[in-house]
Amino acid sequence: MSTETETETVTPPSPLRYARVQSFVASSFFSKLAHLKLNEFKLDDSAIPLRAFISPADKLTRHHTNPIISLDFEAFVEWKSDEPNVLIDGEIINLNTLEEFRKYPKSDILKRAAEEIHKNIVELKDTRFQTINKFFILSFSDLKKYKFYYCVATPTLNSPWNIAGNADSEIVLLDPIDFNSLSKQEHFFQLVDNELHDINFFASDKGNTFVFIDTCLSPHKIPSIHVKNYLFLLAEHGFTQINLLVYRPRGENFGLKLQLDPSFERGSVPKFQGWERNVENQSIQKIADLAYSISPEKLAEQAVDLNLRLMKWRIAPTIDLDIISNQKVLILGSGTLGSYVSRALMAWGIKEITFVDNGRVSYSNPVRQPLFKFRDCFSDDGQGEWKALQAAQALTEIYPGVKSRGFNLQVPMIGHPITEEDKQRTNFETLSKLFDENDVIFLLMDSRESRWLPTLLGVAKNKTVINAALGFDSYLVMRHGSRNQSADTRLGCYYCNDVVAPTDSLSDRTLDQMCTVTRPGGALIASSLAVELLVSVLQDKDKELVSHDHVSDVGTSPHQIRGSLRNFSQSSLYVPNYKYCSACSDAVVEGYLKDGWTFIRECLNDAKYLEEVSGLAEVQRQADIASEELMKQMDELDLDDDELEFFV
């Protein structure tokens, strides 16, 4: 005979599950991160505070129901207290290399965060949402490709809560909570006598019901993972059975009866987790490639800016890049020197460059002048393109961020009398206006007399003037002095060594004199030195007034740099201002400031007039008198030819 024993089937407790949080990082966040990396963070990879907001998934996507941590450009600034979203504090660690990012011990971030949260819970220092829940981002910003690698973590502490059933119906059917009246800094409350309170651990017989404001939209009775740390807090402080009311402002409310598993040990170090995972429960690394969402022009601008900012990080932290990029530059001469100078200026971040020239592109130009191509040697009228106009166009093709203009005009030249006054006066007025509109002037023309008027305008208008000239195997780079310099430190100009006014050097020239016959490398060297001299001057606190021998943080700012390719030598020289200079003397400048074009016209028509105004004529007369007096003395001594030759 057999006996049948009936056994009661007991349903095992169902562990509480949670809806994982997802991250949504807007492109504006990465744009702001890139800006801060370049200008503030640099090589600093310490943790930077952030603040994000948690939104229901339906605000951002229709395909997910999990809550979303959202970050945009405002994540780096302090949020206003009246923001309509639930806020969450966090940090970002932005590493300097991709290798560092891939090998970074991610568990260390979680461990540090979990220990901090656990300490707050045990010591009851603060039960605000920002201290109970946090997020962390580990990232690497490839600013050359504008690609961002990142991982997001929301650290949570484990406590084994099981679902014992649904909460009492009267709890679930409470009148709708006015979500807008609640603090946006909180979304976990204790319910006592149908009123919400901050967590203060009322007696368990009255205060064992808790309300969680949830942003999850899951159709299942699964709360957001952000409730997990609060449940650990309750377990740690003696709660073993609670009612949890999950209130969803945008979804269906539900209530659960939860029971703490006896295996929980108060005071012990909890297990933790938190890195964002995919549907296969694998920790994921995300990549935001913004190169496709940003215009190529903007990418070029950021890349140029990046190369300059990198200099500040390790090599020249005191360099002022803004004062360089803010300069407006006028280049007189669009040939070999003008081409290379403009390219170097762009490399330094200068974005406003104006060319002046009256020549056309010839077949010999493209190989020596990098702004021109073979196709520029012929145009619709059968001649080459105008150099100034084509140079300006070429710069915009090289870098669209540059604002470049070209003016086809001939600079009125000393020693070349007026032949078409209306045209030449118009050219003069246009040139004068261009000087007013620009901060820095480069004199890069191919004749000596063409530099006289720009030299005069530069000193009269207090502009920074950089001059570069080439010989066959030599070069000169110099900066002109300023009238604002003291008498004992005022630097000379291009003409301060002359004892006569410039004259016509262009007429009746042979073929070799009409062409630029120089060693090709000299132009590159002189152009580079000219731009670097400007940069050095701009970095000094006195700018164009700095003396030739002063040493600043970036080095010296010499007056003249003379070099020779014959023996590969280079020297820094100083020439003081000459009080009778035909271009920068006070008398000449005052004559121009008083009479303008009338004065210029007289000088152009007659170089002797300029010599009289500047005082050179008197110097010559005094020299002639001294010479005659010397010869008279020689005659009185009745010296023979050999003795006379010795004195001469």
DSSP symbols for 249-292:
TTS--EEEEEEE-TT--TTSPPPEEEE-B-TTS-B--EEEEGGG
Segments making up each domain of the chain, as ranges: 14-156+281-292, 161-270, 318-614
Question: Which among 419, 469, 473, 463 has a CA at the least distance from the CA of 448?
Answer: 469
Terminal Cα-to-Cα distance of the chain (whole angstroms) = 153
Helix and strand tally (H, E) in the chain? Answer: 19, 25
- Distance (Å, whole) CA 182 – CA 82: 11
Q: Tell me the residue ranges of DSSP E strands in 38-108.
A: 48-55, 68-71, 86-95
**Tokens linked to 134:** 């946090």
Of residues 493, 515, 581, 584, which has the active-site annotation?
515
- Distance (Å, whole) CA 216 – CA 236: 25
Alpha-helix runs per DSSP H in 228-380:
228-236, 296-314, 321-325, 336-347
- Distance (Å, whole) CA 330 – CA 346: 13
Q: For tokens 């530099």, what's the residue?
A: 451
What averages of pLDDT result for each successive group of 10 residues across the chain (648 residues)?
A: 47 81 89 88 90 66 69 81 68 94 89 86 70 89 90 92 79 54 67 75 67 81 89 89 84 87 85 81 82 73 79 82 95 96 95 96 93 90 91 94 95 91 95 97 92 96 96 94 89 89 61 62 96 94 86 85 94 93 95 96 92 90 80 66 53
Alpha carbon of residue 556 to chain centroid: 26
Confidence at residue 179, expressed as pLDDT on a 0 to 100 scale: 53
Confidence at residue 4, expressed as pLDDT on a 0 to 100 scale: 47
Q: Is 515 a catalytic residue?
A: yes
* Length of the chain as a residue count: 648
Strand (E) or helix (H) holding 403 = strand 403-408
10 Å Cβ neighbour count for 349?
19
Name the pairing type of β-strands 286-289 and 86-95: unpaired
DSSP symbols for 565-585:
TTTTEEEEE--BPPTT-TTTS
Confidence at residue 635, expressed as pLDDT on a 0 to 100 scale: 67
- Distance (Å, whole) CA 304 – CA 395: 14
The highest-level CATH class for domain 318-614 is alpha beta
Confidence at residue 514, expressed as pLDDT on a 0 to 100 scale: 41
The SS3 assignment for 595 reads: helix
Cβ neighbours of residue 120 closer than 8 Å, sequence gap 6 or more: 126, 127, 131, 132
Question: Which among 399, 420, 417 has a CA at the least distance from the CA of 409?
Answer: 420
The SS3 assignment for 467 reads: strand
- Amino acid identity, residue 85? N
Q: For tokens 């262009």, what's the residue?
A: 506
Strand (E) or helix (H) holding 551 = strand 551-552
- Distance (Å, whole) CA 371 – CA 188: 66
Confidence at residue 505, expressed as pLDDT on a 0 to 100 scale: 62
Strand (E) or helix (H) holding 464 = strand 464-470
**Tokens linked to 212:** 């969680």
Q: For tokens 């020289």, what's the residue?
A: 573
Confidence at residue 510, expressed as pLDDT on a 0 to 100 scale: 46
CA 25 to each of CA 137, 290, 428, 579, 617: distance values in angstroms, whole numbers, following the listed order: 11, 12, 57, 66, 75
- Distance (Å, whole) CA 239 – CA 91: 31
What's the longest Cα–Cα distance across the chain?
Answer: 167
**Tokens linked to 537:** 């001057």
Cβ neighbours of residue 427 closer than 8 Å, sequence gap 6 or more: 409, 410, 411, 412
The CATH code for residues 14-156+281-292 is 3.40.140.70
